[in-house]
Structure 1
């Protein structure tokens, strides 16, 4: 029995992939789906293979994350499906909840709502600092084996810095510039708009977990 190998994952295009199906040995399989090279993978209904993070966050990416077993030179044997949110890492639920709130309330218009006005006031005042902290969060994700380019596409002209911050929260302290202070800078507009635990909005925690997985 190969329990650890049976916990590996890979991606395949959407469509019937029954347990027992053999996938080519050339495909990438890793124990942590956040480490998959997403920019090289094709999602159905999107031309080419440059699939932006927002397609997964808004539910329009129709790929399947598959649990597989290593069969050596024969390839990967499919065991079954795994939640596609695994690509987003351990804070997947928070990232998805924040994305839903952002799509509904943050559309690049300061007049859309009082929350939007507060969000963009802080974002516009701290843009340079946010960009520097975003680079630090992306560096932490890259160092952990995640796809930093893909995560950078979660940031749009309307919102997104907080999504990357949440995704990289468990990695605080793993690279020099990705600190609690940097996390707080990226999430400051969100906290100004919704509060850390605002009703109907995803919580954005100001305190990092004590164990960063080191």
Structure 2
């Protein structure tokens, strides 16, 4: 039983690099359905046939060297690039793993709608434990809970047409339901009531059951 790094070369020149603790056994496994686990290599086999791919042992090495040696040759032959047949690069002590964008999209599509198992739920629940939000983030979260938007239109200037519409709207007369007194605009009403902003007045007028303002209710005339 010999361990080492092997290579398959397709008729179009594309290369697949792998490692095995028993290379002979691994070669026999690839002639069965186990090859389906390696999508790009499997598609090449379907296209050209397994026997059309040249198989060779690049280097024999110990078990402890397998990952480092495999990653070395994966990088050398650029097996995740256009001329490779690997879907991912092996993680080593010095280099992170890498998965092709195409493979990531397939995994994402396969997991869409799939219910999470308990292990995954626990990972997601614990992902943000101990993390602290910045002061700015906490303010935004507070505003969102109060129903205040994230100031998407801050800094934008109103057009003259918009200004005119707002002006006309503010000149609509308002009547008090209890006293029958008519006010020329929301601004006039606010001045009489001693309110600093017309926002509350107009907000109450928009809903079907307005709340009282200083004990009275109002409507558009």
Fold-level match, TM-score > 0.5?
no
- TM class by smaller structure: under 0.3
Give the structure, 1 or 2, with the largest relative contact order (CA under 8 Å, sep 6 or more).
1
